[in-house]
Chains A and B, each alone.
Chain A
Amino acid sequence: MSLVNFTTREITCKIVYYGPGRSGKTTNLHYIYGRVPDTRRGRMVSLATQTDRTLFFDFLPIDLGQISGFSTRFQLYTVPGQVYYNATRRLVLQGADGVVFVADSQARQLDENLESLQNLQSNLLEHGVDVRTVPLVLQYNKQDLPRELILSPADLDDALNFRAVSSFSADALHGQGVFETLKGISELVLKRLAAGTAV
């Protein structure tokens, strides 16, 4: 749940990058970390295994500066993608103001994407949140891979984007689409705040 304080004029929002294992959630955060000036970001915290797979979460706080006179900060989290880490995934999802679903565009990963989307839905429900009401954007990552290996954004929209939310093509490793995705979810989250429904 976002924290909005009208006395100190501060907004803090929690955004969770969700998706199947190795879809590029941590890579999104690494790219953001690398591009945001030191003064506007905190340390990136990674609770990872020895082989750099996310164990609990990655965390990156960023300072967006003044928005409508409010000092605005975002807390970016990733969840561990592997199926057996569902308990920790559910914990990280608690209190999320917005979700970025990072899908792996490879054709052979389609089932994993669908399974992860269903898992997102059931974990949100466990927190009493309907997936249809939470701000959500989709990112189709790894669109830089050879065409024969991947599905097009249009195909992925057909397969995954039931809510017809904003979707973004991305190559998170090189940064393509990372900024657009963050901007997309930021707008949704703040619009919801502005409407006074998420406070």
Chain B
Amino acid sequence: MTTRAVEAWTLEPLVKFVKEAGARLVLVMTSAGQVLAQSGFARAVDVMSAAALGAAIMASTEEIARQLNQAPFAALNHQGERHGIFLAGLATGRGRLVALVVYDLDVSSLGLVQLFFEQLAAELQAASPKGSVSKQVLAADFERDLSDSLKTLFGR
């Protein structure tokens, strides 16, 4: 199973979690749906769809909680026939993140996922860099590259 991190500090805790919890797919993302790390997905664009939907579910339930004057829900679980989907928020130095975990019911269970998720949350919090990401300037030729890219995309 391939595990990939956009932000390197997420990699080690995630690899450990996938192994211990027996997870099939895992995404760690910002609450706006930007992916920081993933495991088990084949294509980057599929990761983005899953992240958009996961972040939307989380945002919806947080909004319901807000309207009920409640703190955000800690976690959500959906038990399907063969797979379970576990969605939970976690606090890190990079702000509040969201984890989406898909697990096979014949390999893992909600109990196992919950158990190791607590460890994942603690390890991500410990590993996360504090403060803002360093700012660097992109190369100046990006406008030409962008134009070429869009032309390629639209076939014109």
- Residues in A lying within 8 Å of B, measured CB to CB: 1-8, 10, 12, 14, 35-37, 40-43, 45, 47, 56-57, 59, 61-70, 72-73, 75, 77, 87-88, 91-92, 94-96, 179, 182-183, 186-187, 190-191, 193-196, 199
Contacts and interface: CB of A to CB of B under 8 A. Distances in A.
Given A35-B154, A196-B135, A73 B146 contact: no
Interface string B19-52: 0000000000011111110000001111011001
Which 10 residue pairs across A and B have the least CB separation, nearest first? Answer: A95-B32, A42-B45, A61-B48, A68-B139, A68-B142, A67-B145, A91-B59, A3-B34, A194-B138, A196-B135
Contacts of B141: 68
Contact of A75 (B52, B143, B147): B52
Given A67-B142, A68-B139, A183-B150, A91 B52 contact: no
Nearest to A43: B49
B45 A14 contact: no
A94 B32 CA distance: 6
Given A61-B52, A64-B150, A196-B136, 11 more contacts: A3-B6, A36-B153, A43-B49, A67-B149, A75-B33, A91-B63, A179-B150, A182-B150, A183-B147, A187-B143, A194-B138
B112 to A, nearest CB: 29
A15 B103 CA distance: 31
Contacts of B142: 67-68, 190, 194
B118 interface: no
Contacts of A56: 56, 60
A61 B46 CA distance: 8
Interface of B: 6-8, 30-36, 43-46, 48-49, 52-53, 56, 59-60, 63, 133-143, 145-147, 149-150, 152-156
Contacts of A72: 146, 149
B30 A3 contact: yes
Given A7-B8, A35-B155, A36-B153, A12 B35 contact: yes
A70 B8 CA distance: 17
B69 to A, nearest CB: 15
A176 to B, nearest CB: 12
Contacts of B153: 35-37, 40, 62, 64-65
A124 B49 CA distance: 23
A95 B153 CA distance: 25
B136 A61 contact: no
Contacts of B30: 1, 3, 95
A66 B145 contact: yes
A64 B34 contact: no
Nearest to A8: B6
Contacts of B150: 64, 179, 182-183, 186
